């Protein structure tokens, strides 16, 4: 399981469908925007480890964690984190888990974060999403569990 974590000062995700464009997840103020990718071998145990890591990672202002200051997280599924563009001009997605495998594991990360006490907003799995954020720092880190 792989996550790109950005320290943000606000972030949102919108989806456009037959009923129009609407915000499906939004955090205000300091928090984390987390893009989560799942590969074939990932498990619920890894989802739990990722959730614990995200909740306690000391990357906010003053080396604080989300758990220290009750900062919100915006978690968005991102299969392209397992894209491979080493050969040719077009990435392959072979390492990315298919939706029926990946969706429950992304949901498990969110469930575990909420069980730890986190306020979590989400995107919509499989949808074409537009993510807007203000990267604070800028600060971006890659996590693998």
Which amino acids are annotated catalytic?
78-80
Dihedral (C-alpha) 47, 45, 55, 142: value to the nearest 10 degrees? -60
Task: Give me 127's structure tokens.
Answer: 């949808």
The answer to whether the CB of 36 falls within 8 A of the CB of 1 is yes
What secondary structure does DSSP assign to 42-88, as a single string? --HHHHHHHHHHHHH---BGGGB-HHHHT--EEEEE-GGGG-B-SSS
């Amino acid at each position: 399981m792989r996550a790109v974590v950005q320290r943000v000062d606000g972030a949102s995700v919108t989806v456009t469908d037959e009923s129009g464009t609407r915000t499906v997840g939004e955090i205000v103020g300091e928090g984390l925007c987390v893009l989560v990718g799942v590969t074939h071998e990932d498990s619920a145990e890894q989802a739990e480890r990722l959730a614990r890591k995200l909740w306690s990672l000391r990357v906010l202002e003053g080396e604080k964690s989300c758990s220290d200051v009750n900062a919100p997280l915006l978690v968005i599924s991102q299969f392209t984190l397992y894209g491979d563009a080493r050969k040719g001009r077009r990435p392959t997605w072979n390492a990315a888990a298919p939706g029926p495998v990946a969706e429950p594991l992304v949901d498990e990360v969110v469930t575990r974060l909420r069980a730890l006490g986190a306020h979590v907003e989400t995107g919509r799995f499989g949808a074409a999403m537009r993510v807007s954020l203000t990267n604070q720092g800028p600060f971006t880190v890659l996590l693998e569990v």
